[in-house]
Amino acid sequence: MKIVFLIPLLASLVGTTSWAQAKIYRCGNEYTNTVTEAQAKSCKLISGGNVTVVQSNKPAASRAASGAQPGTRTDSADQRAKDSDSRMILESELKKAETRQVELVKEYNNGEPERLASEARNQQKYLERVAELKANIARNESDIDGIRRELGRLSSASASSSPK
């Protein structure tokens, strides 16, 4: 009686292991184990290592309905909601960046920040920190300018698409 149950179990294990050992090809961001498809797309064989494919839980129909597909149009109410969300996110990021800028400028102290205990005897370490602070201020200022440009684009885009 036990042999009857073991035969299908062994057959399924053998089938599973042979499937797991099939050659896998990478075609850009897609993977396939079909040789003809791989040759047609000039895919590269993946050797060594494992490939784990995570499938989306979202069905394709709902993705298309949500407007996630490129080239699809969204209605004006959805677009206004997306623009509003974008504006809120950008304004939040701008506020964080401006707060960070105030902190950096205060710490920089016109190029003469207070020395840390570890820098008391090491002038080079102090100079490196001053240079790093200056670079951080410049980088953060660039970030602020970029966020303001994006906010300006949102304003001009919403002004040109609003009904007259």
What 3-state class would DSSP assign to 83?
Answer: helix
Residue 139 domain-assigned (yes or no): yes
Confidence (pLDDT) at 97: 96
Within a domain: 84? yes
Structural domain contains residue 101: yes
Determine, yes or no, domain membership for 143.
Answer: yes
Instruction: Please check whether residue 86 lies inside any domain of the structure.
Output: yes
Q: Which residue has the higher pLDDT, 125 or 35?
A: 125
pLDDT at 27 over 50: yes
Structural domain containing residue 87: 76-161
The pTM of this model reads 0.52
> Would you state the structure tokens that stand for residue 100, as one six-digit string?
């960070």
Is 11 contained in some domain?
A: no
158 or 121: which leads in pLDDT: 121
Helix 123-161, helix 76-108: angle, nearest 10? 160
Structural domains counted in the chain: 1
How far is C-alpha 67 from the chain's CA centre? 19
Q: Is residue 113 part of a domain?
A: yes
| 20, part of any domain | no
CB contact at 8 A, 113 and 103: no
What confidence tens digit (pLDDT) does each residue in 37-48 have?
777 788 888 776
